[in-house]
Amino acid sequence: MESFIDETLKKYQHQTTPLLMVLRDVQAQYFHIPKQAVELIAKGLDIPRTQIVAVVEFYHFFSFEPRGRYDIFLSDSITDHMLGKKALADYLCTKLQTPLGTVRADGVVSIDNTACTGLCDQGPALLVNGYAIGQLSEQRIDRIVVLIEQNCPVTEWDSDLFEVYDNIQQPGLLLNTKLPRGAALTAAWQRGLTETLDDIKASGLRGRGGAGFTTAMKWASCRATEETERYVVCNADEGEPGTFKDRVLLNSYTHDIFEGMTICAAILGAHKGFVYLRGEYLHLFNKLNAVLEERRAAGLLGDNILGYGWKFDIEIRLGAGSYVCGESSALLESLEGKMGIPRNRPPSSIIKGYLAKPTVLNNVETFVAAAHIAWQGSEWFASCGTEKSKGTKILSICGDCERPGIYEYPFGTTLKEVLKDCGADDVLGVQVGGPSGTFVSTRESDGRLTFEELSTGGAFIIFNHSRNIFDIVQNFTHFFAEESCGFCTPCRVGTSLLKKQFDKIHSGHGSAGDIKELRDIAKLIKDTSHCGLGQSAAEPILTTLERYPNLYERQIKQQYSFDPVFDLDGSLAVARKMSGRDDGHAHLTQVEKK
């Protein structure tokens, strides 16, 4: 083990910031993080072992307990469920004789759930040793089971199993335009970097990751800082369930992303950039690195970019399964080799970002748009969209429709048009923006996609009338409880309380006061949480309580004034057995009559 750790640390130049990369290698080698490895890494990097322990326990894909040599994570997004995940999961677990959440006794295979893997348009999906397999069916599972039982290394499995389709259904302004390599860079230098920044400002480009912050303003503030060392970071964490548009951009518009980052770097005066790639997109890692190599060879990255004397390079760093790491400051913490806990503001990461240096962090799509604007100019971009939301938005559409996939629309497009294009005729509602967004009913289908009205980072999940709103809300509520980083009290404790309270009502055990209590907990989490995760964790409950109060009322046992959270009579079972009693006095009734 010593030599393996030694080599691994060497591979990352004994830096502490790529700690997640180091641990990913260790996990892949030993199927867990051995305690001895913790000691060796702590010594080798001269960091407290507690930092390593904290990181291992924080991320889904690290484990101190040995996992199977084939470590399977089933995508547990609502869209996987809509595509029959439950039955397929049961089928897989039975075939492999491995119950969900366990490691098989022979150590060959382990199966667990994980949050959305970004294959919602081609689910149900799973990860095996980190690599995504979509379009699960009994046939495909049979093949997987055979390969596992034959002990065939994952690297030798048929590549068609790992095929991920772009699924671009409706390209628009950006997706239809092929950016020639280096064209945006050349244009930017010819126009002048300050002028290019002005152009990006004139284009009205706002961040595509969800919050919609004006991109040029972010870049300009970072450029204006006193420091000499600055960083550019691309947020490719794409963790919001139902979002997969960055996956397609990373796969097929890779140069555009890197070009946007390089322009940003030149404008800021940054020499180093990172792409923080979610662990679930391991299947894109080699490809991204190959494109980086290609760009270095072509002089589009490196010490003297296109002969303009600018030095800039990009490094891809993988996450390890954590939704909150998509939040900008949590992402930076993670990039520094720590737990993904959102930082306190001020200072903003524009002033103190990666390693406390000024940092611009943008979504994948934002960099693509910036590159195209640098090349084609602001008017080309601003010619579509609305007054306050310029340009186009790339949507990842999934759920109950005929043609799920990638759609690019000018801002201002109505919900109705989108639903028509993707072939959704039977619509109960749409979750716009994923679990942290809003559940919109068809009554609101005149609503327009803009930052002000219906804002989305890309997620657009359609539900038909056969779907149960409670199942959807439950899936989302459990998701947030699972993904809470645990830093602040309302989100750490509150999301777990909310989950229990919701499940109580959902399972028919709610009594009169329980809806009020549900709303109170939800509001408390929303009003007092530290970061965007907590602040939106209760949205699925709050928005459906508002739109469908009757649904909740119907779930309530009106006749009871109180129903405890646990099974009173069941709790006495052991005592009854021990005392050999079963008379009336040895039983308790569960509910109090009104």
Partner 1 sequence: MAHITIDGQIVPFEAGQTVMEAAMAAGVYIPHLCHHPDFTPHGSCRQCTVTLKAGWNITACTARAAEGQEISNNTEELNLVRKRLTQMLFVEGNHFCPACEKTGNCQLQGVAYHLNMMSNHYPQFYALREVDATHPDILLDRNRCIFCNLCVRASHAEGKDVFAIAGRGINKHLVVNSESGKLIDSELTADDRAANICPTGALLVRGKAFQAPIGQRRYDHHDIEEVTLGGSHGG
Ligand X SMILES: Cc1cc2nc3c(=O)[nH]c(=O)nc-3n(C[C@H](O)[C@H](O)[C@H](O)COP(=O)(O)O)c2cc1C
- Could you tell me if 354 and 231 are in contact, meaning their C-beta atoms sit under 8 angstroms apart? yes
Asked if 313 interacts with partner 1 (CB under 8 A), we say: no
Asked if 326 interacts with ligand X (CB under 6 A), we say: yes
Q: Length of the chain, please?
A: 594
Hey, which residues between 345 and 374 contact partner 1 (CB under 8 A)?
346
Instruction: Figure out which of the listed residues 242, 358, 399, 534 binds ligand SF4, where binding follows CB under 6 A.
Output: 534
Q: Which does 237 bind (CB under 5 to 8 A by kind): partner 1, ligand X, ligand SF4, none?
A: ligand X
The Cα-based distances of 87 to 137, 352, 471 in angstroms read: 10, 48, 16
Asked if 506 interacts with partner 1 (CB under 8 A), we say: no
424: three-class secondary structure by DSSP: coil
What does the alpha-carbon distance between residue 468 and residue 310 come to, in Å, rounded to a whole number? 56
Closest separation between CB of residue 487 and ligand SF4, Å?
Answer: 4
Asked if 210 interacts with ligand X (CB under 6 A), we say: yes
| Host H or E run for residue 550 | helix 549-555
Instruction: Figure out which of the listed residues 1, 10, 14, 48 binds partner 1, where binding follows CB under 8 A.
Output: 48
Binding window for partner 1 (CB under 8 A); candidates: 44-52, 143-151, 211-219, 575-583 = 44-52
Pairing assessment for the beta strands 560-562 and 392-399 based on DSSP bridges:
unpaired
Asked if 531 interacts with ligand SF4 (CB under 6 A), we say: yes
What does the alpha-carbon distance between residue 2 and residue 342 come to, in Å, rounded to a whole number? 34
Closest separation between CB of residue 183 and partner 1, Å?
Answer: 44
Hey, which residues between 350 and 369 contact ligand X (CB under 6 A)?
361-363, 366
Give the nearest residue (CB) to ligand SF4. 534
Contact letters for ligand X, residues 281-320 (x by CB under 6 A): ----------------------------------------
Inter-axis angle of helices 539-547 and 514-528, to 10 degrees? 130
What does the alpha-carbon distance between residue 499 and residue 201 come to, in Å, rounded to a whole number? 43
Closer Cβ to ligand X, 32 or 208, answer by number = 208
Instruction: Figure out which of the listed residues 201, 486, 524, 591 binds ligand SF4, where binding follows CB under 6 A.
Output: 486
Asked if 487 interacts with ligand SF4 (CB under 6 A), we say: yes
Asked if 118 interacts with ligand X (CB under 6 A), we say: no
Give the tokens for residue 168: 């671009």
Asked if 485 interacts with ligand SF4 (CB under 6 A), we say: yes
Instruction: Figure out which of the listed residues 98, 122, 203, 328 binds ligand X, where binding follows CB under 6 A.
Output: 328
Place of tokens 């962090």: 361
Closer Cβ to ligand SF4, 404 or 534, answer by number = 534
Binding window for ligand SF4 (CB under 6 A); candidates: 255-263, 279-287, 293-301, 482-490 = 482-490
Asked if 54 interacts with partner 1 (CB under 8 A), we say: yes
Among 155, 156, 158, 121, smallest CA distance to 282 is for 155
Residue type, 216: A
Pairing assessment for the beta strands 459-463 and 392-399 based on DSSP bridges:
parallel
Asked if 161 interacts with partner 1 (CB under 8 A), we say: no
Closest separation between CB of residue 516 and partner 1, Å?
Answer: 13
Among 234, 296, 294, smallest CA distance to 261 is for 234
The Cα-based distances of 379 to 179, 200, 218, 253 in angstroms read: 17, 10, 20, 22
Among 438, 442, 439, 436, smallest CA distance to 419 is for 442
- Which residues face 236 on adjacent strands? 277
Hey, which residues between 528 and 547 contact ligand X (CB under 6 A)?
531-533
